[in-house]
Amino acid sequence: MQNDLFKEDFHAMAAGQEAIANERLLIKPFKEDDWINLRLIRSDSGFRRYMLPANAPSSLSEENYKKRAIEFARAATQGPCAPRLICLKDSGEVIGSCGVIETANMPLPELSFFILTAYRQQGYCLEAVRLLLKSLNGLKVGAFVNPENSISIKVLERLGLKRVSSIYHPIFDSLGLWFE
């Protein structure tokens, strides 16, 4: 009974914030109190390997996680370019993140996605990114990928994006592959 009430509250809350969903997943904007989920995602070894610049600290203070969550929550109110949480629809459990971000000196807004290690190889990433792209109503996006990240390359290819060049990314301070 209590779990059913949680599900109803969770879905009503997320729907009021322009969440998108399909049969299995709910993609919702960050809220200010989602700093705990941000810490969970950032602590995953796969995230640290491919999603953080080499000079980034492996962990942040609680205060910095809270600041980032507030930034993400505000970005979601200003348009489609914002990180979002990927949740299991039935339970509300956070399993990753995806979104579109604008980075200076990049040709297009960047598609970003990540699934926690425990939830990989279940089709969630491809499913979530397809759902996200559909919600963008034709917004043209690109994706920067570390050439060693073969899984993300496969996801982008399965989405129909094509490798168009090698490109320098100012945040990662490295060369990588650019897909559009």
The model's pLDDT over 92-105, given as tens digits with 9 standing for 90+, comes to: 999 999 999 888 88
Q: Which domain holds residue 153?
A: 2-179
The Cβ-side half-sphere exposure at 48, using a 13 Å CA radius, reads: 10
In whole angstroms, give the CA distance from residue 78 to residue 96.
Answer: 22
What is residue 9's predicted lDDT score, i.e. its pLDDT?
38
* Beta bridge mates, 166: 177
Torsional sign, CA 3, 24, 140, 102? positive
The pTM (predicted TM-score) of the whole model is: 0.83
Q: List the CATH number of the domain containing 148.
A: 3.40.630.30
Of 46, 11, 55, 13, whose CA–CA distance to 31 is shortest?
Answer: 13
Number of domains composing the chain? 1
What is residue 52's predicted lDDT score, i.e. its pLDDT?
60
pLDDT band at 21 (very low <50, low <70, confident <90, very high): very high
The pLDDT tens digits for 99-127 are 998 888 899 999 999 999 999 999 999 99
Residue 31 has pLDDT above 70, yes or no: yes
Average pLDDT over residues 32-36: 92
The contacts of residue 30 (CB under 8 Å, 6+ apart) are 37, 38, 69, 72, 73, 76, 82, 83, 84, 85
The pLDDT tens digits for 45-95 are 777 666 666 666 667 788 988 998 999 998 888 878 899 999 999 999 999
Whether the CB-CB separation of 114 and 41 falls below 8 Å is answered with yes
Residue 2 has pLDDT above 80, yes or no: no
What is residue 50's predicted lDDT score, i.e. its pLDDT?
67
pLDDT band at 137 (very low <50, low <70, confident <90, very high): confident
| CB atoms inside a 10 Å sphere around CB 15 | 13
What is residue 8's predicted lDDT score, i.e. its pLDDT?
40
Of 110, 117, 98, whose CA–CA distance to 169 is shortest?
Answer: 110
What is residue 54's predicted lDDT score, i.e. its pLDDT?
60
